[in-house]
Amino acid sequence: MNAHVLDGKAFAAKLRITIADHVAALQAGHGIVPGLAVVLVGEDPASQVYVRSKGKMTVEVGMRSFEHRLPDTTSEADLLGLIAQLNADPAVHGILVQLPLPGHLNSDLVINSIDPAKDVDGFHISNVGLLGTGQKAMVPCTPLGCLMLLRDHHGSLAGKHAVVIGRSNIVGKPMAQLLLGDSCTVTIAHSRTADLPAMVRQADIVVAAVGRARMVPGDWIKPGATVIDVGINRIVADDGSTSLVGDVDYDSCAAVAGAITPVPGGVGPMTIACLLANTVTACCRANGLAEPEGLTV
């Protein structure tokens, strides 16, 4: 079998057009321009790339982008001070603090200081609790993007066995919550899972969010299963050139899967589009306006 390729890049481009339409309507009808603030502490080159492309796409859909780059020596008090200022700024509807933060900063404390209504990453404990209890929340962007691709491909996910590999707060756990919310039977696997290959072989849907290049081989995949590859791993070839690969071995998995996301061009672009979608949703909620359909779950 040759897997159907779930084209996240194309899906995200369509989603951004829908977002741009909503942004234009907010401006024309209400004189409101959604604003997204991104805070980057330190000089991590990969993070700088993400922050730049987030800023560019934010402006492309007609929203305001506020970038705050702070040195990696920034104190916790200064960072909390900036977040307090962004919380109070009516032009800012969404706040994202790029993770990981330098080691001397307490990321739980920092994330929980963001106004939950502006927490477009969905990482604040209040949003985590709302999602876990099936209430209206800000939903983390990467899992939201994965769910959109899965719903688009399958329609209903009810009754499917989903195996999520990885239990991080930013991907694995919220992904599992969303799949459960769509009535999948969900298994969360991690580094202490006893027999990972046997577990993955049972899955109708596999979501790999591990951070290990090409860890999942094709012979772990049940024929016809859907494979969502969240991993972003930069690898260096013998000739010194670098490339981006996921957590699954694409060629061997694509040979048995029914559908698969590529890296790059799969989940990554969906994450950024969902960040913009969450910012529009947050802006509508902040202004007491009906929120657009199709931008969240």
Amino acid at position 48, single letter:
Q
- The tokens for 36 are 């997204």
8 A C-beta contact, residue 139 and residue 145: no
166 is in an annotated binding site: yes
- Rule CB under 6 A: say whether 233 interacts with ligand NDP: yes
- Rule CB under 6 A: say whether 98 interacts with ligand GUE: yes
From start to end of 61-130, where are the E strands? 64-70, 94-97
98 catalytic per annotation: yes
CA distance 217 to 71: 40
- Rule CB under 6 A: say whether 50 interacts with ligand GUE: yes
- Rule CB under 6 A: say whether 57 interacts with ligand GUE: no
Amino acid at position 186, single letter:
V
| Of 78, 41, 38, 42, the residue nearest 57 (C-alpha) | 38
Residue closer to ligand GUE (CB basis): 38 or 176: 38
- Rule CB under 6 A: say whether 128 interacts with ligand GUE: no
3-state class of 73 per DSSP?
Answer: coil
* Identified binder of ligand NDP from the candidate list 111, 186, 210, 228, rule CB under 6 A: 210
Stretch touching ligand NDP by CB under 6 A, among 63-71, 108-116, 119-127, 228-236: 228-236
64 is in an annotated binding site: no
* Identified binder of ligand NDP from the candidate list 14, 136, 190, 234, rule CB under 6 A: 190
CA distance 256 to 262: 14
- Rule CB under 6 A: say whether 9 interacts with ligand NDP: no
Q: Which segments are annotated as binding site for NADP(+)?
A: 166-168, 232
